[in-house]
């Protein structure tokens, strides 16, 4: 199953605009196997957040992208929860990576 198909099976389904933005931001990663969902979603969230951090303003125009970052991280952890024994280490790694975007 592709990441695209995996995302489309999530319940509840995100609003249409958010679903479209998720696929746009994920780009070619949507065609990867769903077993790569955690890595693909977290990497896409990190890239999008890094881009938002360099913008001079993060007003209303950034709302959809901020929601997209949130959704991508949520999906990354949903995928990561399939291996509960490594969730703590994965969470620490994700926090460090996302926090590093503020320092970039």
- Each residue of 37-83: pLDDT tens digit? 999 999 999 999 999 988 777 688 899 999 999 999 999 999 999 88
Contact 6, 34 (CB under 8 A): yes
Region class of 7: left (phi > 0), else alpha (psi between -120 and 50), else beta? alpha
In the chain, how many domains are there?
A: 1
Examine residue 97 and say whether the peptide bond preceding it is cis (omega within 30 degrees of 0): no
Q: What are the pLDDT digits (tens) for 41-52? A: 999 999 999 999
Contact 68, 25 (CB under 8 A): yes
Q: 104 pLDDT exceeds 70?
A: no
pLDDT at res. 103: 77
pLDDT at res. 54: 85
Please provide residue 33's backbone torsions phi and psi, each rounded to the nearest 5 degrees: -65, 145
What are the beta bridge partners of residue 33?
2
- Please give the model's pTM, rounded to 2 decimal places: 0.91
- Longest CA span, the chain: 40
* Average pLDDT of the chain, as a whole number: 92
pLDDT at res. 13: 95
pLDDT at res. 67: 96
Which domain, by its residues, includes 13?
3-103
């Amino acid at each position: 199953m592709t990441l695209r198909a995996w995302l489309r099976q999530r319940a509840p389904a995100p609003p249409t605009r958010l679903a479209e933005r998720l696929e746009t931001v994920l780009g070619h990663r949507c065609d990867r196997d769903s077993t790569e969902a955690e890595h693909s979603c977290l990497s896409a969230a990190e890239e999008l957040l890094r881009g938002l951090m360099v913008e001079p303003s993060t007003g209303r125009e950034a709302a959809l992208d901020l929601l997209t970052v949130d959704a991508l991280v949520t999906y990354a952890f949903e995928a990561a929860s399939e291996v509960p024994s490594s969730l703590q280490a994965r969470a620490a790694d994700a926090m460090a990576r996302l926090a590093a975007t503020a320092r970039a």
